[in-house]
Structure 1
Amino acid sequence: MDADPPTASPQAALPDWAAVMRRIAGGDALAFRCLHQHFAPRLHRYLLGLGAPAARVEDLVQESMLRAWRAARMFDPGRAGAATWLYRIARNVHIDSLRRGSAVVCGEELPEHLASALHEGGDGASAPEAYVDQLGLGRAIAALPPVQARLVRMSFLEARSHSEIASELGMPLGSVKSSLRRAFSRLQRGLGAAAA
């Protein structure tokens, strides 16, 4: 009679992404499906955090995953983890999408979400106000101590779990959680003061 497998912690349940990438490089579609199921929702949140228009995010995620499939042989776990590699691909896909856009202001490309906001009013905020809000958040994150800024980016923009962050950075889970609480508290105070 088979015994039940031992209960694993959520962190231990995550696959070895470097091994998954090696299988994908060999053409393993099931390994790719595993990668896609785990990272597609995270890339979706990450791209929204970068300001990609909601109507285009799913296409950008699919393009990112397709590029990962095609470039799997180029993945080098010695240079970056699979998550970092995938987020970089998604960021590049987003930048390529912006470069292909046709809206231009003062010689610079206008991101699609801002160009559409100029014509649609949206939630009541004008495109310049939305852009200033995004810039304000970026500045507020940059003003945090470096470790806190990195934790906020990993948690919010990259949609990493606290356990994933702790594992990747070699920090105790409690330290990650308390540092994020302090960082979000500082962000709230900083953005509240800027709005006043």
Structure 2
Amino acid sequence: MTVDRQSVLRELHDLHAAVIWRYAMHLTRNTSTADDIVQETLLRAWRTPRILDQDPASVRPWLFTVARNLVIDDARSARRRHEVAVEDPPDRGVEDGSDGLFDILLVEEALQALSEDHRAVIVRAYFGGQNTVELAAELNIAEGTVKSRLHYGLRALRLALQERGVTR
């Protein structure tokens, strides 16, 4: 930066910084935001050669316009729209278990719609953790029959759940 530009910027600051700060303070009601607005306004003046080429006393309207636009941009920013400062964090939601209870009731009701043979195989396999060999031995049926009952029982269970509004 040349000495000439430095002196022009210093003169701009001396002539207009306090007035621009009061204007920004009036618009924002926040001292740190007003400080930032003045700093950014003067930075933009420094980056605009045509402003530095003018008489420092005649650029006040341009500085006010820049300051006003910066305040508007800040008010429209996502930071201002979405963040709300609060003293205490909000309470966290507590799971009450009602969804799980309704799921259990729904599955029990759907299982009741199955035949006894299908229900016995599905309950022992999925809730009892038994495999097809164990199921075949316990129910005294062939492994192929266990697999068939599991297949058709699950299809019937899926349909029973869909009739009750379950879509997943």
After TM superposition, the score normalised by the length of structure 1 is 0.35
Work out which of the two has the higher radius of gyration on C-alpha atoms and give 1 or 2: 2
Q: Which has the higher helix share?
A: 2
